[in-house]
């Protein structure tokens, strides 16, 4: 029997560069790092909610620009699923809503990995009560730990995003805002 | 006078020189500060990049490069950190039986507290394509089983091959039987007697998934039909232990998963079960065919599921003769069971992680819906069970349940019971 392998196994793992390219094709990327003080970490923790850990004081993120204007920012969140870690890229649009969620690395058995269709539930979500497994996010039957981990990661990133405010005032009056935010989901695999 | 003029000129010249030199000195100092600042920024950048590498993993952060002569994408699997994944689940169950059956006679049932099962999950991921997965179970505090153990090999993103001790991919509970996942203190009887959860056999097969569906197709050693009873197929499981493999079976499943929170699917199994036994020098088939349609919906506080499952057994007269079953004790040639269950989280709108879910399940099971000519059906095998209770989840992985089951049979032999259970998974 001859078995033909598909050489790229992108659904299994991505590099950081590949994930950023998926989200921001043809955009300029700038890596920035936020150094948070205790008060900022506490504020992010409060925003994220009682069951979400926010501990890191050093947060690196990637701001994408096109034509000189910001179009989104990507965060990479690493967290434990069962025993092993998962890395998720979360893209936040200039409207401060989730533009994209991508599993970058998943070390547990693939059957527990969140399907792309399930991750799409997060698109357009903001940090509110609906962003939870008790709210608008459906659980993955058979992958409860993954469902909880991704949901908590999304709340954590949106909370950090609110504290860091990477766009500042520069974006709020950007006229191209809506069109650019739409680009964030245009390059899905 | 000349000395005074000269002195003045020297003073002016020196002053002019000092004035002219001062900006140069400040400029040099500023340049040095800028260099130091740039150097510090560079060091901070290096430190934060290293921190990011450590947090995310080098296989994620480092740029693609070729390993072992493979292209960057193909070689990526060899950089993935390997490792053991541990987990587990379990449940304790207390059953308090009514003193009388529904016909008023004494039930004779004794209350029971059972360390029903504690399961350790062990997995090892060799690389992104190849992994081992297993569950080792201790039931009733003293019986150990291998619940499943298999190797997976991913042929593509969408399709893989799996071999070992496999869970039959039928129904809702057989593959996903962790207590926090399902409501009810006990598993539904439909998925106990017709789909005999936890049903696992040795085999090999394919599995796959797409954007909106998943499927599995296995070839497994079949049941040992000489262990079937009038109460269903459960006794025929071989559980992977020196399993007779004269007869093999085929199991398949297809689920629609395109709507988050919803699983809607069908599954089936067919295989002969006599395992080489003969009757009067004639081979016996004893084919069993099982089918099911299932639905599971969990969203916005609702937890709804339903299963309809049926089974047909051929050569029942010969199988009964092989086993020595007579009258109403014969294997059913036709079995049918179904249940519908619904629960709702009363704490859905609260900010806490707690869930409090009252639930109701209605179920009918008949393992002798049809019997062979010359045999009779026992009305005691025609059951109706209504379960009402509540489940409390402080977190999604831990559950405490309290429920009351009203059992009724066509023979009026049902015995009601009050159950309490604790369950967890991690």
Per-residue confidence of chain B (426 residues) as pLDDT tens digits? 445 444 556 555 555 555 555 566 666 777 888 888 988 888 888 888 888 888 888 778 764 444 444 444 434 444 445 678 888 999 999 999 999 999 999 999 999 999 999 999 999 988 878 999 999 999 999 999 999 999 999 999 889 999 999 999 999 999 998 999 889 999 999 999 999 999 999 999 999 998 899 999 999 999 999 999 999 999 999 999 999 999 999 999 999 999 999 999 999 999 999 999 988 888 899 999 999 999 999 999 999 999 999 999 999 999 999 999 999 999 999 999 999 999 999 999 888 889 999 999 999 999 999 999 999 999 999 999 999 999 999 998 999 999 999 999 999 999 999 999 999 998
Asked if A118 lies within 8 A of B260 by C-beta distance, the reply is yes
User: Could you give the C-alpha distances from A62 to A159, B83, B103, B163, B273, in angstroms and in order?
Assistant: 16, 30, 72, 43, 60
What is the model's pLDDT at position B21?
56
What is the model's pLDDT at position B24?
60
Strand partners, B255: B214, B265
Q: Does A103 touch chain B (CB under 8 A)?
A: no
B257–chain A nearest CA distance, Å? 9
In B, which residues are within 8 Å of A120 by CB distance?
260
Query: Three-state DSSP class for B108?
Result: coil
Q: What is the mean pLDDT of residues A166-172?
A: 65
What is the model's pLDDT at position B76?
45
* Region for A75 from its dihedrals, namely left if φ exceeds 0, alpha if ψ lies in -120 to 50, beta otherwise: beta
Structural element, H or E, at residue B318: helix B316-323
Tens digits of per-residue pLDDT, B340-385?
Answer: 999 999 999 888 889 999 999 999 999 999 999 999 999 999 999 9
Q: Quick count: other Cβ atoms within 10 Å of Cβ B187?
A: 18
Does residue A186 carry a pLDDT above 80?
no
User: Helix crossing, A144-164 with A38-48: angle to 10°?
Assistant: 130
In B, which residues are within 8 Å of A1 by CB distance?
none
Asked if B348 lies within 8 A of A134 by C-beta distance, the reply is yes
What is the model's pLDDT at position B390?
98
What is the model's pLDDT at position A108?
86
In B, which residues are within 8 Å of A50 by CB distance?
351-353
Q: How confident is the model at residue A185 (pLDDT cuts 50, 70, 90)?
A: very low
Take residue B153 and report the two structure tokens written for it.
């090999």
Q: Does B50 touch chain A (CB under 8 A)?
A: no
In A, which residues are within 8 Å of B64 by CB distance?
15, 17-18
Question: In the 8-state DSSP scheme, what is residue A5?
Answer: P
How many Cβ pairs within 8 Å bridge chains A and B? Answer: 163
The percent of residues above 90 in pLDDT, for chain A, comes to 63
Q: Does B398 touch chain A (CB under 8 A)?
A: no
**Distance of alpha carbon B24 from alpha carbon A30, whole angstroms:** 35
pTM, two decimal places: 0.81
Q: Is B341:B312 a contact under the CB 8 Å cutoff?
A: no
What is the model's pLDDT at position B74?
39
Nearest to B56 among A87, A115, A135 (CB): A87
For the domain spanning B59-425, the CATH number is: 2.40.160.10
Top pLDDT among B356 and A181 is at B356
Q: State the ipTM, two decimals.
A: 0.73
φ and ψ at A85, to 5 degrees?
-85, 160
Q: What is the mean pLDDT of residues A46-66?
A: 93
In A, which residues are within 8 Å of B74 by CB distance?
7-8
Q: Is B319:B313 a contact under the CB 8 Å cutoff?
A: yes
**Distance of alpha carbon A118 from alpha carbon A141, whole angstroms:** 11
Q: Is B310:B191 a contact under the CB 8 Å cutoff?
A: no
In A, which residues are within 8 Å of B209 by CB distance?
115
A85-93: strand order across its sheet:
A28-35, A58-66, A69-80, A85-93, A98-106
The residue of chain B nearest to residue A35, with distances taken between CA atoms, is B48
Instruction: Please name which of A171, A166, A179 lies closest in space to residue A91, comparing C-alpha atoms.
Output: A166
Quote the longest CA-to-CA distance of chain A. 62
A105–chain B nearest CA distance, Å? 7
Take residue A46 and report the two structure tokens written for it.
């409060």
Q: Quick count: other Cβ atoms within 10 Å of Cβ B228?
A: 27
Strand partners, B129: none
Query: Three-state DSSP class for A124?
Result: coil
Instruction: Please name which of B351, B301, B348 lies closest in space to residue A48, comparing C-alpha atoms.
Output: B351
Question: In the 8-state DSSP scheme, what is residue B186?
Answer: S
Q: How confident is the model at residue A79 (pLDDT cuts 50, 70, 90)?
A: very high
Asked if A107 lies within 8 A of B80 by C-beta distance, the reply is yes
Give residues 123 to 142 of B whose Cβ lies within 8 Å of A: 123, 125, 128-129, 131, 133
In A, which residues are within 8 Å of B135 by CB distance?
none
């Amino acid at each position: 029997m001859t078995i033909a392998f598909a050489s790229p196994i992108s659904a299994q793992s991505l590099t950081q560069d590949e994930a950023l390219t998926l989200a921001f094709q043809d955009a300029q990327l700038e890596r920035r790092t936020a150094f948070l003080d205790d008060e900022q970490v506490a504020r992010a923790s409060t925003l994220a909610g009682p069951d979400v850990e926010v501990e890191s004081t050093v947060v690196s993120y990637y701001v994408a620009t096109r034509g000189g204007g910001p179009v989104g920012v990507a965060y990479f969140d690493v967290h434990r699923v069962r025993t092993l870690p998962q890395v998720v890229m979360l893209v936040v649009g200039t409207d401060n809503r989730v533009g994209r969620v991508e599993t970058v690395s998943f070390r547990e058995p693939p059957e527990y990995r969140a399907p792309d269709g399930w991750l799409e539930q997060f698109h357009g979500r903001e940090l509110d009560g609906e962003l939870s497994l008790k709210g608008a996010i459906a659980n993955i039957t058979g992958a409860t730990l993954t469902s909880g981990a991704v949901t908590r990661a999304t709340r954590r990133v949106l909370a950090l995003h609110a504290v860091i405010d990477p766009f500042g005032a520069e974006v709020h009056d950007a006229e191209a805002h809506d069109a650019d935010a739409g680009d964030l989901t245009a390059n899905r695999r | 006078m000349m000395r005074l003029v000269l002195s003045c000129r020297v003073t002016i010249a020196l002053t002019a020189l000092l004035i002219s030199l001062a900006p140069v000195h400040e400029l040099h100092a500023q340049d040095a500060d800028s260099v130091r600042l740039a150097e510090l920024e560079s060091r901070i950048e290096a430190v934060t990049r290293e921190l990011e590498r450590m947090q995310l993993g080098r296989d994620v952060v480092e740029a693609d490069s070729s390993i072992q002569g493979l292209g960057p994408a193909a070689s990526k699997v060899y950089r993935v950190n390997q490792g053991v994944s541990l987990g587990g689940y379990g449940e304790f169950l207390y059953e308090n039986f009514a003193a009388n059956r529904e016909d008023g006679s004494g039930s004779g049932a004794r209350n029971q507290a059972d360390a029903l099962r504690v399961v350790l999950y062990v997995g090892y991921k060799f690389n992104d394509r190849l992994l081992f997965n297993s569950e080792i179970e201790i039931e009733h505090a003293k019986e150990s089983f291998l619940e499943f153990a298999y190797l997976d090999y991913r042929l593509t993103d969408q399709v893989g091959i799996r071999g070992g001790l496999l869970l039959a991919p039928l129904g809702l509970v057989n593959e996903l039987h962790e207590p926090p996942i399902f409501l009810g203190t006990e598993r539904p009887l439909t998925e106990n007697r017709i789909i005999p959860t936890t049903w696992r056999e040795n085999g090999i097969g394919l599995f796959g998934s797409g954007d909106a569906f998943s499927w599995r197709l296995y070839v497994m050693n079949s049941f040992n039909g000489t262990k079937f009873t009038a109460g269903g197929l459960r006794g025929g499981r071989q559980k992977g232990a020196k399993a007779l493999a004269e007869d093999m079976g085929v199991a398949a499943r297809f689920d629609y998963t395109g709507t988050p929170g919803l699983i809607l699917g069908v599954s089936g199994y067919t295989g002969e079960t006599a395992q080489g036994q003969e009757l009067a020098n004639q081979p016996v088939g004893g084919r069993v065919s099982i089918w099911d349609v299932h639905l599971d919906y969990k969203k916005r506080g609702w937890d709804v599921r339903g299963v309809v499952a049926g089974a047909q057994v051929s050569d029942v007269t010969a199988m009964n003769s092989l086993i020595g079953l007579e009258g109403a004790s014969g294997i059913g040639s036709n079995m049918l069971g179904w249940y519908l269950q619904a629960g709702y989280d009363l704490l859905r709108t609260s900010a806490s992680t707690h869930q409090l879910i009252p639930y109701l399940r209605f179920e009918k099971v008949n393992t002798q819906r049809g019997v062979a000519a010359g045999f009779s059906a026992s009305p005691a095998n025609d059951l109706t069970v209504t379960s009402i209770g509540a489940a409390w989840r402080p977190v999604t992985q831990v559950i405490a349940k309290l429920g009351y089951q009203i059992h009724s049979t066509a023979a009026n032999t049902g015995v009601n019971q009050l159950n309490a259970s604790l369950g967890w998974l991690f």
